[in-house]
Amino acid sequence: MKATILIPAYNEETVIARTLWYLSKGLPLSDFRVIVIANGCSDATAARARAVMPQAEVIETDRCGKCHALNLGFEASCKSAPVICLDADLDVTSESLTALLAPLEHGNALASCGKMEVVTSESSAAVRTFYQGWRSNPYFSQGKFGGLFALSPAGAARVFPLPEVIADDEYIRRSFRQEETAFAAECSFQARAPSSLPDLIRVRRRSIRGARQVTRLGQPSPERGSTKEMLHRALVSRPDTLPIAFFLLVMTWVRVCLMLEGQNSCHLWERDHSSRAAG
């Protein structure tokens, strides 16, 4: 077996069929074990997953929580093979998964990530401008560790079982040194952007909450100087000036909102439903 693919899904009835359809195109199911973990669902996520990919194993649990779902999936995985973690609302092909596994099979990497492509065709002008600036973040030169990533057997053993955190991908990313993580440039996957600026702000608030929670657990962010590099690019590249300025303005506003919320919201999970409407 090449790998186990873990897909945690909470009320993803509208998108799980699309995700599994993309995944199944050319995927040799004899080499991959696909496990969908429907956690706390009140819709037909599990039934849709079984209908679209009968070969997949579907685990159902009444308890909500992505980390709990991933832990259940890992318990049922093949421990001698890599583990791929895939969000239930992303599009990725079997060719990209093969590229994602290559650094684990032929190198010393414990984890690998690919390149995220954000689809903004259904988003407002403000959201499109934000993501134009977002793409200029130097962090993405080494891929996007989130939504989709792979762990070698040794890498998975290091991080599982996961603690109950908001940002599971950020916790896992920070569990590895930079030299232990590989960027699989030939692996790309698609995520759909929120449709409106308020939807986007909710997602960004959750992201920052999750990162801060991981920091409090003793895993500080390895990124330093990203904002400075982005400001320099905004000054020297006129086409990037407005998008980067708008990106930084939105992120500043998000942090102000979090300051005003106080500690009561530090574990709040905010979700974007607009990007799931056309699943």
- The tens-digit pLDDT sequence of the chain (279 residues) is 799 999 999 999 999 999 999 998 888 888 999 999 999 999 999 999 999 999 999 999 999 999 999 999 999 999 999 999 999 999 999 999 999 999 998 878 999 999 999 999 999 999 999 999 999 998 888 899 999 999 999 999 999 999 999 999 999 999 999 999 999 999 999 999 999 999 999 999 999 999 999 999 999 887 766 888 999 999 999 999 999 999 999 999 999 999 988 665 555 666 777 777 655
Domain range for 129 is: 3-276
Give, in order, the Cα–Cα distances in Å from 11 to each of 23, 44, 87, 166, 276: 19, 8, 12, 17, 10
Read off the CATH number of the domain in which 82 is found.
3.90.550.10
Number of domains in the chain: 1
- Separation CA 200–CA 194 (nearest Å): 5
Instruction: Measure the N-to-C terminal CA separation of the chain; round to a whole number of Å.
Output: 30
pTM: 0.92
